[in-house]
Structure 1
Amino acid sequence: MAKKGLKRQTTESFADLQNDVLGQYVASGAIDAKDINAVQDISVDKFVEFKDHPFYVIDNEEMAELVASIKDNGVLVPVIARPRDGKFELIAGHRRCHAAKKAGIEKIPAIVKDYSDDEATLAMVDSNIQRENILPSEKAWAYRMKKETLSHQGRKATDPDEVGTDTRDKISDTDSGATVDRYIRLTYLNKDLLKLVDEKKLSLLSGVSISYMTKNQQKIVKKTMDDESLSPSAPQAEQMLKLAKSIKDDTKFELEILKLFRKKHVNRSYKMTSKEVSRYFPDDFDDEKIKSTIEELLTKWSKEKGYYKK
């Protein structure tokens, strides 16, 4: 859901907010337009989480804002669910349901549909992937679930418009097939390394290379990163993968990647004149302000690229 829908103060009317989010659900295929008129109030205790739900529900500042908003205004947008063993399995709205419980709300509006397992998975992914802030691990597992569902669903045989297309290109409207594959590879990282990707302490490309290593090799990489207080750049991770493929002995592998981490780089010296630097900054920036800004921007860039060294 768009972040603007979670704030207590907004320029949109409640009706506009409802129409916006429900319109996104219809566009994603999670519900039909006619379902909007079939909203019912259901006890929050009747809802259960979607099995293997890849999107986190975290008690953070945004959740606190959502709880406060629900206390003031109620749950404005219905959750989506399906009947499940006498309960209702959430398809979309896990955060709203959690916030409603914290706010002391007993019942929330819901759209209930009798989805098959495949339909439920696709609706769950498509309705949640539109959220503004999604961690790499969330996107990775969501893409993997959708790809596996599409792969065994046989859509190529039933939908003439999609015959001959690659399954991966149907997974996302915003990411290319190659990018989708990179995210899915992250699901083969161990939990500790995947967490580093979420925390931007390990770049996506470095994570992809490491994901092809065995479980033991990944543990060795993580241990070496901790011991050396370093994160491998994308080129370093590629070199590590080559070592992982050629060296079967874990002890030798650990020694080789340690050498790689400690490898001395060629000394480099860069100089820029004050005139060259000053064109990028306002006239009222002194030398210290310019220096700190350059360091801040370079740190952000190098972390994003996976080059940053502590």
Structure 2
Amino acid sequence: MKKVETFASIFGEDHSEVPSEKQDGTTSLKLDDLIPFRNHPFKLYEGDRFNDMVESIKNYGVIVPIVVRKVDDKYEILSGHNRVNAAKEAGLTEVPTVIKEGLTEEEATLIVTETNLMQRSFSDLAYSERATVIATRHTAMKKQGVRNDLLDEIEKLSKAPDLSADSTFRPMGEKLRSDQNIGEEYGISPRNISRYLRINELSAPLKDLVDEGKIAMRAGVDLSYLSQENQEMVEAIISENTFKVDMKKAALLRKHEKEGNLNWNTAQKIISGDMLKSTGKVKPFKLEPTIISKYFNPNEDKKAIEKTIEKALDFYFSQMKNQSHDIEEGEEMIE
């Protein structure tokens, strides 16, 4: 009987061929053919969590297929960045995949955010990640005709054995079809929803600084109104000097941009705190009783004392000003 050679034995295992779909609707794709989602907004696993995933894949393989879409001659990952990284570390060359076609950019982004949210509770996300989830959901809920059939399918595909049982978890289709607003779903006020939407307008480096605590969240809201150019300038100043930005500094930066006089020097003075020191109010203080008794008798009226002190200070500072002026004139004569 003549031995029939397989396709792989003739052309080799690495022969590039259109992926064949399995009976369960998944396809095996080579890891080298995968690229990450552009500007992926979520933090990837590190440390023990990543190592545990690597060990699991070594023992059982990639159980839950990743989700991708074709981009040119590659496949862009929509769901499964951590699984792909762990599979590479575990020594795999291929992973089970679901290829989605005909997606709009909004639908692709929605898959990225929803499948990430399904693995972790909202409270576990960093500020920038929460902002991405809320902004994406907000856009989707404003649009009509959201593809719930697509979301239901992705929800089924993404059900891993260790999904969080947190109370914030609900199937994607239910989330988008619910009459509840976003604030009720995540247990945050409409005002905070608005703040997260503003945080989403920050540049990526400033979002990282918010996550790191170098920019207070509410300060980040003010900074989100700055132009992209000024956001880059602010990020450079903070990173170069390891400064932090609070609400007062952020409000000053926004005010100066609105007035058209925000430049590097001004921004640096604000962010370093020098401008706040120079424009801040003098802290209230009390004169020691011994000083009062030295110049005033015990029965003196309080208002009268304050008026006398004010006059004395006016005289003192006028004398100091005249003295400074005389010194400057003397220096000019020497020159």
Q: TM-score, normalised by structure 1?
A: 0.56
> 2:203–2:228: 8 Å Cα contact kept in structure 1?
yes
The structure whose Rg is larger is 2
Identity %: 26
Supply the AA of the counterpart residue of 1:120: A
Structure 1: how far apart are the matches of 2:242 and 2:284? 21
Aligned match of 1:139: 130
Deviations 1:18-56 (CA, angstroms, capped at 9, x unpaired):
xxxxxxxxxxxxxxxxxx954444433343333443224
- Aligned position for 1:207: 220
> Which residue, out of 191, 198, 201, partners 1:188?
201
**Partner residue, 2:110:** 122
Cα deviation 1:135-181 (Å, max 9, x = unaligned): 32333345445545655x4449xxxxx99x99xx4599315554343
Q: Which residue of the partner structure matches residue 276 of structure 2?
A: 260
Q: CA deviation at 1:253?
A: 4.0
Amino acid at match of 1:130: M
SS in 2 for 1:238: helix
What does the per-residue CA deviation read over 1:112-137, in whole Å, with 9 as the maximum and x for residues that have no partner? 44352243322222111334343323
Distance 1:219 1:94, change over 3 A: closer
Give the 3 Å change call, closer, same or farther, for CA 37–107 of structure 1 in structure 2.
Answer: same
Alignment RMSD: 4.1
Residues 1-310 of structure 1 mapped to structure 2, 5 A cutoff: 37-57=24-44, 60-85=47-72, 87-117=74-104, 118-132=106-120, 133-148=124-139, 153-155=143-145, 169=181, 173-174=185-186, 175-218=188-231, 221-222=234-235, 225=238, 230-250=243-263, 253-254=266-267, 257=270, 258-260=274-276, 263=280, 266=283
So what's the TM-score if we normalise by structure 2? Answer: 0.53
CA distance in 2, matches of 1:125, 1:57: 13
- Could you tell me which amino acid in structure 2 is paired with residue 209 of structure 1? D
> Any conservation in 1 of the 2:134–2:182 contact (CA below 8 Å)?
no
Alpha-carbon distance in structure 2 between the residues aligned to 1:119 and 1:249: 39
Structure 1 unaligned spans of 5+? 1-35, 157-161, 269-310
Q: Secondary structure at the match of 1:99?
A: helix
Amino acid in structure 2 at the alignment position of 1:212: Y
Alpha-carbon distance in 2 for matches of 1:44, 1:229: 39
Deviation at 1:213, TM superposition (A): 2.0
Taking the aligned partners of 1:176 and 1:39, their CA distance within structure 2 comes to 41
Partner AA of 2:251 in structure 1: E
The answer as to whether partners of 1:206 and 1:238 remain within 8 angstroms in 2 is yes
Distance in 1, matches of 2:204 and 2:248, equals: 22
If asked which structure has higher relative contact order (CA below 8 Å, sep 6+), I would say: 1
